[in-house]
Amino acid sequence: MSMQKTIEEKLLDALAPSYLEVVNESYKHSVPPGSESHFKLLVVSQLFAGQRLVARHQRINGLLKDELASGIHALSMETLTDEEWQARDRQARETPDCLGGGKRGASA
C-alpha cells in the first residue's frame, strides 16, 4: 500500500474527519521521481474542538509515528474544526515552493 493511502486510512479511522486531504508534495523537492517523503495534510474534524494547535499536531504525529520513523521526511498540517474550516471559506493554505537542494535556482 502506498504511504499516501496508509496516511489517509489511519486519519479516517482515528479522526472521523468531515474533510480530509492528503497531498504528496514530494515532486516539489529534490527526491527521486515517485517518492513519498513530503506530505501536506488538511484535516477537518470536530475531535479537534477545544484543543490547541500543538495538541492537534501531536495527535496526528502520534497516529503517524511509524510512517514518520520510516520514510516521511516532511509533514505539514492544517488541523481545523468544522467551524474554523467554514470561517476560512473552505480554503487550504498554499504550500511555498522548496528552496533547498537541487530545486534552488541555478542563478543564486
Q: How far apart are CA 56 and CA 53, in angstroms?
A: 5
Number of domains within the chain: 1
Its pTM surpasses 0.75: yes
Let me know if residue 29 belongs to a domain.
yes
Q: Is 101 contained in some domain?
A: no
Q: State phi, psi for 70 to the nearest 5 degrees.
A: -135, 35
Q: For residue range 9-62, what is the model confidence (pLDDT) as tens digits?
A: 999 999 999 999 999 886 666 666 666 767 899 999 999 999 999 999 999 999
Residue 106 pLDDT > 70 = no
Q: How far apart are CA 39 and CA 27, in angstroms?
A: 10
In a domain, 19, yes or no: yes
Residue span of the structural domain in which 46 resides: 3-92
C-alpha cell at 56: 492537534
Residue 103 within any structural domain of the chain: no
* Residue 43 in domain: yes
CA-closest candidate to residue 38, choices 1, 9, 80, 67: 67
In this structure, is residue 18 part of a structural domain?
yes
CATH at residue 65? 3.30.300.90
Asked if the structure places residue 108 within a domain, the reply is no
Read off the pLDDT of residues 87-98 as tens digits, 9 standing for 90 and up.
Answer: 988 877 776 665
